[in-house]
C-alpha cells in the first residue's frame, strides 16, 4: 500500500486545467519514519525522513522541486526568490538537504554540478 503524504496543486483558476502540482508518495509502512514540513513556496515541498531510517546522527530533509520554465506564464520572480531563500535556510539549519525534481534548468556550456570550495556551507 502507498499513501500520498501531501499534494500541491497550482491555482486552478490560473491554470484553467486539472493538472500540475507536486506529490510525495510514501509506502504506508514508512509513514512513521517521515513527516511533511510546511513550505511558504509553491515550487517546493519538504519531507523529513528520520535519522533512524538511515542509521545516521541527522535527519534528512528532502526537497521535491518543480520550477516552471522562465518563459512560462506560471513562473514568478517573487516565488523564485522565496524558493531560493527557503533552500538556503534549510541548508543552513540541516546537514542533509538533497533536492529532487524538475528545475527546468538551462546551463548552456556551463557545468551541471557545483565545485565545492571553502566558500560553500
Question: What would the DSSP string read from start to end of 61-89?
Answer: EEEEEE---TTSTT--HHHHHHHHHHHHH
Residues 56-108 pLDDT 10s: 999 999 999 988 888 888 788 888 888 889 999 999 999 999 999 988 876 66
**Cα Rg for the chain, rounded, in angstroms?**
16
C-alpha–C-alpha distance, residues 11 and 74, integer Å: 10
Residue 23, pLDDT score:
85
> Taking the model in full, what pTM does it have?
0.75
Amino acid at each position: 500500500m502507498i499513501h500520498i503524504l501531501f499534494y500541491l496543486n497550482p491555482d486552478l483558476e490560473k491554470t484553467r486545467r486539472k493538472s500540475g502540482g507536486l506529490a510525495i508518495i510514501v509506502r504506508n509502512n514508512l509513514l512513521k519514519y517521515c513527516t511533511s514540513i510546511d513550505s511558504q513556496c509553491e515550487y517546493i515541498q519538504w519531507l523529513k525522513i528520520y535519522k533512524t531510517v538511515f542509521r545516521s546522527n541527522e535527519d534528512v530533509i528532502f526537497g521535491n522541486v518543480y520550477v516552471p520554465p522562465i518563459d512560462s506564464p506560471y513562473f514568478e520572480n517573487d516565488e523564485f526568490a522565496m524558493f531560493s531563500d527557503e533552500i538556503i535556510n534549510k541548508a543552513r539549519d540541516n546537514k542533509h538537504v538533497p533536492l529532487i525534481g524538475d528545475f527546468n534548468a538551462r546551463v548552456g556550456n556551463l557545468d551541471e554540478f557545483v565545485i565545492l570550495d571553502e566558500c560553500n556551507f
